[in-house]
Chains A and B, each alone.
Chain A
Amino acid sequence: MVQKFSLTVDSQLEHLSEIADFVELAARESGLDDNKIYEVQMAVDEACANVIEHAYHGRKDGTIDIGCERRGKEFVVTIQDFGERFDPKKVARPRTRDPLSKRNIGGLGLFFMHKMMDKVHFEFSPGSGNRLTMIKKIK
């Protein structure tokens, strides 16, 4: 039996902890261990904060649809928004070895998403907005 989990929230930062709880439940039901649950939670948290801040520019009435499901040995998360296009190529990679004076503050969210997940894939279409798919291998 394939179990699918979905959650729809408005684009408000206050919903991030509810999203984290949802991801925990879905990931646990799908057989992920504590460590992997934490990693997926972080990736989703960073992704949703990006959506709120960049796709919706802080607008509170945007929609975020989050879906989670297990496909074989993979846990698949999709995050759909209907805001402005997010182009990951335009985000500078953080320079994690730079000294304090040179550390810039951008790009860290995307950096963590890639660190925490096995695959991160962005799609955009003008009619349906941004669709992010992230995959975590379960075993």
Chain B
Amino acid sequence: MAMAQKEITVLTPQGRLDAAGARPLEAELKQYMAAGKIHLLIDLAGTRYISSNGLRALLAAQKQAKERGGALKLCCLSPRLVEIFEMSGFDRVFEIFDKREQAEESFE
């Protein structure tokens, strides 16, 4: 019998995830969580900046997803974003992948 495939929800936030940009992302993540979509992939290829507020939005969603047996994973970070995640220790809160395909496969 084939294993049921997990439904992965992919988000691609664009531009700046500052205190203003984090709000719509936070709202979107809450909606997905409420709809039971707990396997989330955030593709950050189009995100050129993330502030503490952006990190907080991701952290809150990760906590909720984990509590329900899911996960929030990240891919395609620019070197600057990688630096921010490492500096704040958030690289240990999320699984981070270089490429989107690798991240998608990791859910299976």
- In the complex, whether B68 has a CB less than 8 A from a CB of chain A is no
Residues of B48-89 whose CB lies within 8 A of A: 49, 51-53, 55-56, 59-60, 62-63, 66, 80, 84, 87-89
- In the complex, whether B7 has a CB less than 8 A from a CB of chain A is no
Q: Is the CB of B62 within 8 A of A96?
A: no
What is the interface of chain A, defined by CB distance below 8 A to chain B? Answer: 13-14, 16-17, 20, 38, 41-42, 45-46, 49, 52-53, 94, 96-101, 103, 105, 108-109, 111-112, 115
Chain B interface size, as a band, is 20 to 34
Q: A16-B19, A45-B49, A112-B51 are in contact. List 20 more A-B contacts (CB 8 A).
A: A17-B16, A17-B18, A42-B49, A45-B19, A49-B52, A52-B19, A97-B89, A98-B89, A99-B92, A100-B59, A100-B62, A100-B66, A101-B63, A103-B59, A105-B59, A105-B60, A108-B52, A109-B52, A111-B88, A115-B87
Q: Is the CB of B60 within 8 A of A46?
A: no
Majority secondary structure of chain B interface residues (helix, strand, loop or mixed): helix
